[in-house]
Homo-oligomer: A and B are copies of this chain.
């Protein structure tokens, strides 16, 4: 049987487990070495393909490749680079196919969120139009959990676990100090458009009154008066209040709370951080001592506390993607299907990229409690399985033994190319 090479690229914001997906693709390609020759990874995703900067994965040490399973971030580099439609950027798509042809690449794997699935879909269309035999498979990845048709997205479960554990630990801290110190603690997490991440912190809530007391999501309009009233009520009832807030909460006028009104000494609008904004509000209106944290990248790179379910799923979607490609399925993405009945189990199924592209999965309304400050039992039941199991990385000298690729590049065969940035 004729062998062809494969391209694998990482795209968009990285996660604690996207490299486990790379491992799934690579391992599966290797078990089918009769049909897949080399796997080439794009340096910084699709940008590497455009620039003909291709990492020869065959040159990486076996330790490095084994380490992909437990190393966070994008081991081959990721990018924020969206190809527009075929008409506007046809030259870019044609360039991609030229590079692939030059390197005998006939399998294309793109590992990312909604934009990446869209790019994969368009590339498939372009290849068909141009008569180049390329099998294109998208692979899901996003901490935002907003990809449609899949029960959840690899990357999300580990963030969910991180924020739930962090909120739990902070609530223990505040509980033990509140009688003579901090009364309100606010933890800011990612989520510009949806509250998936913030909502997952509900898992830290228990019958002992620990975990977050209030969870603020972008799906609910932020109302200053009712927020302050609830904080005041919780402090009155239990002595302290722990708030988890998504960065993207907005007021009724549609403006982000993180952009509300502050200017620095030079008159510039003060940079974001919705947590310090809420702390200002509380101090001005309720005079409680407050503390706040902003998790930012720590939440999505925290491989040290990754969910085993998430690692398993991340690896499995990589493996499935390679299998789909070998089965000749083009323009599909492996989606996670949750079995209807407990205990939690899941399978993978191919879904059409045409159905995935350009659709965001919103958090269901029934996951948000009626008062808008919490998560329902239905939400909790959805989130709970995704954080199960601790995929502890190996440690050396007290630190996780993360690997770093040598990134040996394949010799270029084409003239250089300047991508049209956008």
**A174-212 vs B, Cβ < 8 Å mask (1 yes, 0 no):** 111101111001010000000000000001100010100
Which of A89-97, A148-156, A289-297 interfaces with chain B? Answer: A289-297
Cβ–Cβ contact A71 & B180, under 8 A: no
Given contacts A302-B169, A399-B203, A399-B204, contact A264 B280 (CB under 8 A): yes
Residues of B within 8 A of A280 (CB): 264, 268, 270-271
The answer, among B75, B76, B179, B210, for a CB contact under 8 Å with A44, is: B179
Whether the pair A13, B177 counts as a contact (CB closer than 8 A) is yes
Closest Cβ–Cβ distance, residue A174 to chain B (whole Å): 7
Restricting to A50-91, which residues have a CB under 8 Å from any CB of B? 71-81
Name the residue on B nearest A385 (C-beta).
Answer: B398
- In the complex, which residues of chain B have a beta carbon less than 8 angstroms from the beta carbon of A270? 262, 264, 270, 276, 280
- A399: which B residues are within 8 A, CB to CB? 164-165, 168, 203-204, 387
Our pick among B77, B204, B293, B295 for the contact of A176 (Cβ within 8 Å) is: B77
- Of the stretches A303-311, A317-325, A410-418, the one at the interface is A303-311
Copies of this chain, count: 2
With contact pairs A301-B169, A390-B395 given, residues A266 and B293 touching in the complex (Cβ less than 8 Å):
no
Residue of B nearest to A210 (CB): B404
Contacts of A294 in B (CB 8 A): 273, 275, 292-294
Q: Is A389 engaged at the interface, CB distance under 8 Å to the other chain?
A: yes
* A173 adjacent to chain B (CB < 8 Å): yes
A73 and B180 form a contact (CB under 8 A)? no
A103 interface residue per 8 A CB criterion: no
Give the residue name and chain of the B residue nearest to A309 (CB): B398
> Does residue A362 face the partner (Cβ distance < 8 Å to B)?
no
The chain B residue sitting closest to A169, CB to CB, is B301
B262 near A265: Cβ-Cβ < 8 Å:
yes
Please give the distance in Å from A265's CB to the nearest CB on chain B.
Answer: 4
Question: Which of A14, A169, A180, A284 gathers most chain B CB within 10 Å?
Answer: A169
Whether A74 contacts B176 in the complex (CB less than 8 A), given A273-B273, A294-B292, comes out as: yes
Would B176 and A298 count as touching, CB distance under 8 A? no
Q: From A295, which residue of chain B is reached at the shortest CB distance?
A: B293
Q: Which residues of B contact A266 (CB under 8 A)?
A: 284
**Which of B173, B210, B398 has a CB less than 8 Å from the CB of A203?**
B398
Q: How many whole Å from A167's CB to the nearest CB in chain B? A: 9
Quick check: B298 and A166 within 8 Å, CB to CB?
yes
Query: Contact partner of A78 among B164, B176, B272, B305, CB < 8 A?
Result: B176
Instruction: Decide yes or no whether A224 CB sits under 8 A from chain B.
Output: no
Using known A-B contacts A262-B262, A296-B292, determine if residue A14 contacts B204 with beta carbons closer than 8 Å: no
Inter-chain contact B301/A291, CB cutoff 8 Å = no
In the bound complex, how far is the Cα of B75 from the Cα of A9, in angstroms?
48
Q: Which residues of A contact B (CB under 8 A)?
A: 10, 13-14, 44, 47, 71-81, 161, 164-166, 168-170, 172-177, 179-182, 185, 187, 203-204, 208, 210, 260-266, 268, 270-273, 275-276, 279-280, 283-284, 291-298, 300-305, 307, 384, 387-390, 392, 395, 397-400, 402, 404
Knowing that A170-B301, A271-B279 are A-B contacts, what are 16 other residue pairs whose CB atoms are under 8 Å apart, sorted by A's residue number?
Answer: A14-B177, A44-B179, A73-B176, A78-B177, A79-B179, A169-B297, A169-B301, A169-B303, A172-B402, A182-B297, A203-B398, A208-B404, A292-B296, A304-B305, A384-B397, A387-B398
